[in-house]
Chain A
Amino acid sequence: MKLPDLTELALRNLRESLLRNSLTTIGISVGVASLVAMLSLGIGLQQLASRRLVKSGLFDTVVVTSRRDLRGMGRDDDRPLVTPGESRVLDEPSRREIERLPNVLEANPDIRFITELNYEDKPHLTMIAALPSSARSNDAFEGMQGSFFSSDTADEVILQKSFAAELLGKTPIPGGVEPSVEELARPLLGKQLTMRYAQRAPAPTPSAGPADAGGAAAYSVVSREQQLKIVGVADLDPETMRGPMRAKVFLPLKLAESLHVMQPTDLREIASAASDQPVYSSLSVRVKDPAQVQVVEDAVKKMGFNTFSILDATKSLRQFFAVLDLFLGIFGSLALAVASIGIVNTLVMAILERRREIGIMKAIGASDEDVKSLFFAEAGAMGILGGIVGVALGWAIGQVINVGTNVYLKRQSLPPEHFWAVPWWLVGGAILFALIVSLISGLYPASRAARLDPVQALRYE
């Protein structure tokens, strides 16, 4: 029998015993709904965690260092060390080359230095780091008082809460009440700081001598001052953030680059680099997607640099969620397994009721295969209908729980979150799964119907 005929006959037969078939289909729907609800919770939590991690900038970043940096990053210690003569310098052309790699969003130098900041004529020594404009979306700046830098070259500065407290002389006493970010920001926002730093300036070309023979260049170190306006005070936790975040004061990246602040690596690089080309101790390469980190790392390594990322941590996180999804899926499937017994029951009852009809069909030319296909199609139709209704029901349950949780979070003065995610693959997968389970459930009844002896079946009243 052709598929459209089979479908038409199957749906007609299902309509004939509407109540019983509806109840069976509802059983499947409840099973699918529980499966969808469980899995979408798992997926939702995974996405929530991923969103948080991506926003933290931890998992989409590859730190690139030169292989000349014999300190290494720990991860690549087992690799054979490259002699400085064979390795590449991490300079501006290398940075551009890395930026041109597929899946790379940007490659920014890690500029960090310890220097002195004067506030109301009092000097404060601290670690300063530069931030690219893309750091604006970092969740560390959620709840920041003031605003992010107005531009990448603005003479502006964002302070970490503890440094703001230090400027105001409010260093927290252990066990005492910490001042809030709002409290600290109010007197500081809009105020000026003076930064004293050592600038690396190109030195006048020395007369020909032994130094030139080696291709080395010289530079001079000049003491400079820069006025900076406090635009933001952020509640960052330095312990959980990566490298640059451990600093307590942040500058716009372009501004920091233009200042040519003396870097600790400058002394080492002087041996081979031209003095007018900036040489970076390390670059932070931002990748489009955490999944592409490994690819980018490999590409950068091929270029002759060392790399470091927290990919291994994301791997174990993915593993954790895969196991969580598996268990949630198994629990969700239990209801579907119970529903599948309902399908077997419904179809076996249908065979008993329609015994004579099966006999008639065989007498007028239906093959065993036709009869089997018909019962199979009925099981499949119940599966698809149950699957569709179940997905809708699961989605609705998710929405209700999402709304309920967010009402609770709001009462606890916490920002709303999206715990629930029903991706398209889950919709399709759940319906397909319901169809497969139904077809498997239909196997026994269908083959039993096909095996019926037509003579016996026709005698049945």
Chain B
Amino acid sequence: MSRHYRMGETLIRAVDGVSLTVPKGEFVALLGSSGSGKSSVLNLIAGLDRPTSGSMIVQDRDLAKLSRVELAKYRLHVVGMVFQSFNLIGSMTVAENVELPLRFAEVERESRLSKASEAVERVGLRARMDHRPSQLSGGEQQRAALARALINRPQLLLADEPTGNLDSRTGTEIMNLILDLNRQMGMTVVMVTHERALAERYAQRMIFLADGRVVDDQSNSPHSATSGGPA
């Protein structure tokens, strides 16, 4: 698939003929320098963007052919996303941020509260449920974002530089949580990172991108998997 766009007179080839297959339950890392197209690929997988040409097939559905409404449903039910900058809504508490996708899914209030509380519990943030994002540390904010991503039990977790704004210890904690989800729930994880070491530690497969193209695709034996826990 390709994703080209114009910036003035220049044609930007953000994704230029990338062809990938990610099996269910795999932990994949997309690596590359800034502008290599890794985030653009992630946005295409997330259904936030559409390819200019080619297909993006998830669970036998071509995302390029889905309507805007169907894409929104796909993002709501199939995909969970975490971002480098956490992307929590500042005017809402942790609990409200976490349950927000359930509001879009029109889930009843009681059910929403119990599911949100379960998700927050899972990421170890129960004591901070009623705090606003500004009252939390970076690690706590990312945990909250992770709880929000999990609330609809997605099959696909997309993480865009999830440890980019965290110190190494907090980053490790977050990565362990993601790894747990991958292993225990069989969730497919696609993580964008520019840290090769992080990818080697957690991902089963490393895909290297440069100028919108796949330049290398390696299998990896994550250290965390062999050691039974993060380094």
Contacts and interface: CB of A to CB of B under 8 A. Distances in A.
Interface string A132-168: 0000000000000000000000000000000000000
Contacts of B106: 1-2
A357 B152 CA distance: 19
A16 B96 CA distance: 15
B66 interface: no
Nearest to B76: A365
A454 B50 CA distance: 12
A13 B199 CA distance: 39
B148 A364 contact: yes
A364 B81 contact: yes
Interface string A365-384: 11111100000000000000
Nearest to A13: B91
A12 interface: yes
B148 A458 contact: no
Interface string A1-43: 1100100010011001000000000000000000000000000
Interface in B85-103: 87-89, 91-92, 100-101, 103
Contacts of A362: 48, 72, 75
Given A1-B103, A2-B106, A364 B75 contact: yes
Interface string A249-271: 00000000000000000000000
A369 B68 CA distance: 10
A363 B100 CA distance: 11
B61 interface: no
B72 A368 contact: yes
> Among A360, A364, A366, which residue has the most Cβ atoms of chain B within 10 A?
A364
A458 B88 CA distance: 11
B89 A365 contact: no
B43 interface: yes
B75 A360 contact: no
B103 A5 contact: yes
Contacts of A366: 72, 76, 104
A228 interface: no
Nearest to B87: A360
Contacts of B49: 455
B46 interface: yes
B105 interface: yes
A455 B68 CA distance: 14
Contact of A365 (B68, B77, B91): B77
B20 interface: no
- Among B68, B69, B103, the one with the most A-chain Cβ atoms within 10 Å of its Cβ is B103
B105 A365 contact: yes
A361 interface: yes
Interface string B190-220: 0000000000000000000000000000000
Nearest to A364: B101
A367 B100 contact: no
B27 interface: no
Interface string B1-42: 000000000000000000000000000000000000000000
A80 to B, nearest CB: 70
A455 B103 contact: no
Contacts of B72: 362, 365-368, 370
Interface of B: 43, 46, 48-49, 68-69, 72-73, 75-77, 81, 83, 87-89, 91-92, 100-101, 103-106, 148-149, 152
9 contacts: A5-B103, A13-B91, A360-B87, A364-B148, A365-B73, A365-B76, A365-B101, A369-B69, A458-B48
